[in-house]
């Protein structure tokens, strides 16, 4: 689908520059929910009909990140997908994390008896050494929009045999991402993938899956009919890490992800970064490579709000985010409010 035609399927109110908090769904995703919600209200169908959307969502996400569907686990949040990964490291493990990392990729490590080292994002690759058991970082930082030096971090982790864990929540949906470069990649899908809250995906490489204990083992992650009684019979692939999923969230997720595949991440990336740089240039900032811009100007949050611009305050700055449904008029309205 051509980009100019696809964006007509979104109908945000002008001034929505807050996709880094949550994404606006396309009309077809909202419409896909209405029938199942009415069926639920009336008890007209079993849940298995709604659950068909989870297989579609798994397949679509896999294609978006260059992976196989069997390497994708489904969950409800990034931290929940990360929990079994962290729990599988031995006590005392050294884990290196950026010092401004969003806590969904920090608390899962801090809650254990690990030696968690936090360093500035630019120093992350240099901090990885032979004692590092795992490195966990965001491809795009939530607070600043900074895109990580992925090549350097991957090279350092591979050189020292460290488990390589990436949070791509603020990346997948606008930034081209190859999940297979990492051991584990997690995404909360309600932001740039514009799915409902309660949808999350995890890529778990076949090379490390057997090292990770599925501590949330449940019937949904089972092989065949696993509803009652022993023995333990979990799926052989990444589906063993699934949780019993929120049906309706995935009913809307499937058509949204399929639509993104149809549009292509390349045109979305070009559009998002172009608008972000239009905004940055207007403020006298150097061009960047991110769809997220943080403005530290005093009073910026109040001025944006007064102009009807919905944004977020993060780390003391106003965070604005540009996505496929953002227009030049949106960017210029925010710029006018600040200048």
Architecture of domain 41-261: 3-Layer(aba) Sandwich (3.40)
CATH topology of domain 3-25+264-338: 3.90.1150
pLDDT confidence of residue 1:
84
| Helix, strand or coil, per DSSP, at residue 51 | helix
Domain residue extents for the chain: 3-25+264-338, 41-261
Instruction: Specify the pLDDT at position 208.
Output: 97
Smallest CA-to-CA distance from 313 within 186, 143, 189, 192 is with 143
Per-residue confidence (pLDDT) for residue 111, from 0 to 100:
98
pLDDT at position 317 is 87
User: What pLDDT does 224 receive?
Assistant: 87
User: Which helix (H) or strand (E) is 156 found in, with range?
Assistant: helix 150-160
β-strand pairing of 312-314 with 317-321 = antiparallel
Residues 269 and 9 sit within 8 Å (Cβ to Cβ): no
Compute the distance between CA of residue 252 and CA of residue 23 in angstroms, rounded to an integer.
13
Tokens linked to 279: 């905004």
Return the pLDDT at 53.
Answer: 97
Instruction: Identify the CA nearest to 323 among candidates 145, 64, 134.
Output: 145
Residue 316 pLDDT: 80
Q: pTM value?
A: 0.96
Reduced to 3 states (helix: H, G, I; strand: E, B; else coil), residue 215 is coil
In whole angstroms, what is the distance from residue 18 CA to residue 334 CA? Answer: 12
pLDDT mean for each 10 residues of the chain (339 residues): 92 97 97 96 92 97 98 98 98 97 97 98 97 98 96 98 98 98 98 98 97 96 91 96 95 98 97 98 96 94 95 90 97 95
């Amino acid at each position: 689908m051509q980009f100019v035609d696809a964006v007509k399927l979104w109908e945000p109110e002008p001034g929505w520059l807050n996709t880094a908090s949550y994404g606006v769904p396309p009309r077809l995703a909202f419409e896909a929910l209405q029938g199942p919600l009415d069926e639920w209200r009336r008890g007209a169908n079993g849940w298995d009909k709604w659950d068909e959307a989870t297989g579609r969502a798994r397949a679509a996400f896999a294609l978006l990140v260059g992976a196989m569907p069997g390497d994708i686990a489904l969950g409800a949040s990034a931290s929940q997908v990360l929990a079994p990964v962290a729990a599988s490291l031995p006590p005392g493990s050294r884990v290196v994390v950026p010092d401004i990392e969003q806590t969904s990729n920090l608390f899962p490590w801090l809650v254990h008896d690990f030696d968690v080292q936090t360093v500035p994002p630019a120093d992350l690759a240099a901090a990885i050494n032979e004692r590092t058991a795992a490195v966990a970082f965001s491809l795009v930082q939530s607070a600043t929009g900074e895109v990580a030096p992925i090549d350097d971090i991957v090279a350092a982790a591979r050189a020292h045999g460290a488990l390589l864990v990436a949070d791509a929540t603020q990346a997948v949906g606008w930034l081209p991402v190859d999940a297979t470069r990492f051991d584990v990649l997690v995404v909360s899908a309600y932001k740039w993938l514009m799915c409902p809250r309660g949808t999350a995906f995890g890529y778990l490489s076949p090379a490390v899956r057997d090292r990770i204990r599925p501590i949330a083992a449940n019937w949904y992650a089972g092989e065949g009919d696993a509803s009652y009684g022993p023995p333990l019979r979990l799926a052989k692939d990444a589906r063993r890490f699934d949780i019993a999923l929120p049906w309706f969230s995935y009913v809307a997720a499937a058509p949204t992800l399929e639509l993104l595949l149809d549009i292509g991440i390349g045109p979305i990336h070009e559009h998002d970064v172009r608008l972000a740089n239009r905004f940055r240039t207007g403020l006298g900032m150097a061009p960047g490579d991110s769809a997220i811009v943080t403005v530290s100007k005093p009073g910026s949050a109040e001025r944006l709000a007064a102009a009807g611009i919905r944004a977020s305050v993060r780390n003391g700055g106003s965070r604005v985010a540009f996505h496929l449904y953002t227009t030049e008029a949106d960017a210029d309205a925010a710029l006018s409010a600040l200048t």
